[in-house]
Amino acid sequence: MLYEQDFYAWTIATAKALRERDLINLDWDNLIEEIESLGRQEKRELINRLIILVMHLLKWQYQPNKRSRSWELTIKIQRLDVEKLLLDNPSLKSYLKEAISSGYNKAVLKAAQETGLAIEVFPSVCPYTWEELIDNDFMPN
């Protein structure tokens, strides 16, 4: 099967079949799988952006003596990336609470790794509201 032998060739053939409305020769099972995969990829991207954002907010809050322009700019960039992702995919807004919760433990692990602080120093649940996460003026003290 072309999908398993040469993925790139499969994408070209599938796009051609779709353009020509050739429904008989479409590889429906793999096409469906790939479309669903694209949706999962957007969810993973949201979680990854939130992990980086929350990790840097935690570092900012728990290591005030090491605050840097780099941390501040990373926070701003992640906020812009999350905002753009949600503008492009408005239905992901319904997934925000779960995404924040899902990514928080990893954000804590990364913050602990980068700061050298014990994991127990950080709250067990995300201390920031969604509004704070996207507020460009919010920086935790």
Predicted pLDDT at 41: 94
Classify residue 99: in a domain, yes or no. Answer: yes
Predicted pLDDT at 39: 84
Classify residue 76: in a domain, yes or no. Answer: yes
Residues 55 and 114: beta-carbon distance below 8 Å: yes
Predicted pLDDT at 1: 87
For the chain, how many structural domains are there in total?
1
Classify residue 88: in a domain, yes or no. Answer: yes
Classify residue 18: in a domain, yes or no. Answer: no
What's the domain range around 89? 40-134
Distance CA 106, CA 30 (A): 32
Within 8 A by CB and 6+ apart from 100, the residues are 50, 54, 126, 130, 133
Classify residue 121: in a domain, yes or no. Answer: yes
Classify residue 140: in a domain, yes or no. Answer: no
Residues 89 and 43: beta-carbon distance below 8 Å: no
pLDDT below 70 — which residues of the chain? none
Classify residue 31: in a domain, yes or no. Answer: no
The amino acid sitting at 25 is: N
